[in-house]
């Protein structure tokens, strides 16, 4: 495959505003989109640091009013592998992940694998080595699946579970990638895949999860799943809003047309 190169001025501008040492090389990049995660982020990052992986942690913070970014800056004094990009306002999960992709791809030495996960402890950091291990076996997109055999969801109410299952059924009907969980946020991407699809990612919110699978499937990249246990936020409140559900529905309708 011919890899697309990043050449936009906007991407270069992103890197200019990243706090931390962008000159280092790490095999793995982890993207943590945050908004008001002051109660979670320190412990989460320390658990990732303790995984004994060569990892760069990139926090994309949407100007959290609770001081999340300041906690990251304190952690940077202890750990040299943490990067921070603060955006001017809450701009959505999809654009946060895309910005994270662009930043990692624009580094002088990009990571080989890029992991995305929630920063609210819904995802277990100990699943990261499992994702990486499967990716190293030649899989370009490894999804931590709640609906694969062995996967589980804990502490979700009936409404949230129903919305998730309906979304996945609809995505499966449209995309047909032969997987079980299209909307899980815990994933590992090969950098080869990300370079290929980056210019075709336009989602602003949760639909980014389906958009990346659709783009990977269209280009015949290898996609696989591993079972995970998803625990509804151990701390804080759910951020899923009616507006985000609406945006997801509009995205799916647009995809069908």
Cα angle 221, 223, 229 (rounded to 5 degrees) comes to 160
Residue of 140, 181, 145, 186 lying closest to 44 (CA atoms): 186
pLDDT bucket at 5, cuts 50 / 70 / 90: very low
Residue 102 pLDDT > 90, yes or no? yes
Check residue 139 and give its pLDDT: 98
Residues 83-96: what's their mean pLDDT? 96
Residue 241 pLDDT > 70, yes or no? no
CB 85 within 8 A of CB 61: yes
Check residue 159 and give its pLDDT: 85
pLDDT tens, position by position, 150-169: 999 998 888 889 888 988 99
Cα of 112 vs its chain's centroid, Å: 15
Judging by beta carbons within 10 Å of its beta carbon (0-12, 13-18, 19+), is residue 201 exposed, middle or buried?
A: middle
pLDDT tens, position by position, 7-29: 333 555 789 999 999 999 999 99
Residue 4 pLDDT > 50, yes or no? no
Residue with tokens 């990571």: 111
CATH code given to domain 9-256: 3.90.550.10
Check residue 46 and give its pLDDT: 98
Check residue 194 and give its pLDDT: 98
- Contacts of 77 by beta carbon, 8 Å cutoff, 6+ apart: none
- Contacts of 216 by beta carbon, 8 Å cutoff, 6+ apart: 140, 141, 177, 193, 197, 223
Residue 254 pLDDT > 80, yes or no? no
Distance CA 144, CA 214 (A): 17
Structure tokens at 33: 């989109």
pLDDT tens, position by position, 194-235: 999 999 999 988 899 999 999 999 999 999 999 999 998 754
Residue 141 pLDDT > 80, yes or no? yes
Residue 239 pLDDT > 70, yes or no? no
Q: Which pTM value belongs to this model?
A: 0.90
Percent of the residues in the chain that have a pLDDT greater than 70, as a whole number: 86
Point out the least confidently predicted range of 30-44, 180-194, 207-221, 225-239: 225-239
pLDDT bucket at 3, cuts 50 / 70 / 90: very low
Check residue 206 and give its pLDDT: 87
């Amino acid at each position: 495959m011919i890899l697309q190169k990043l050449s936009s001025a906007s991407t270069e501008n992103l890197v200019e505003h990243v706090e931390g040492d962008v000159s280092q090389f790490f095999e793995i990049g982890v993207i943590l989109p945050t908004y008001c995660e002051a109660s979670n982020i320190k412990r989460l990052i320390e658990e990732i640091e303790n995984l004994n992986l060569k990892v760069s942690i990139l926090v994309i913070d949407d100007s959290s009013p609770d001081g999340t970014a300041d906690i990251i800056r304190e952690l940077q004094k202890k750990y040299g592998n943490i990067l921070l990009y603060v955006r001017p306002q809450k701009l959505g999960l999809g654009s946060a992940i895309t910005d994270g992709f662009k930043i990692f791809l624009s580094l002088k030495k990009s990571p080989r694998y890029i992991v995305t996960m929630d920063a609210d402890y819904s995802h277990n950091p100990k699943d990261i080595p499992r994702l990486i291990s499967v990716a190293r076996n030649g899989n370009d997109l490894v999804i931590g699946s709640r609906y694969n055999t062995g996967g589980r969801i804990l502490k979700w109410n009936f409404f949230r579970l129903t919305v998730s299952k309906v979304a996945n059924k609809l995505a499966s009907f449209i995309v047909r990638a032969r997987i079980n969980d299209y909307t899980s946020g815990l994933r590992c991407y090969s950098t080869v895949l990300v370079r290929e699809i980056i210019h075709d990612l336009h989602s602003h919110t949760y639909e980014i999860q389906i958009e990346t699978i659709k783009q990977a499937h269209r280009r015949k990249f290898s996609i696989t799943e591993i079972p995970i246990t998803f625990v509804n936020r151990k701390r804080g409140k759910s951020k899923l809003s009616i507006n985000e559900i609406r945006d997801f529905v509009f995205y799916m309708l647009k995809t069908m047309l």
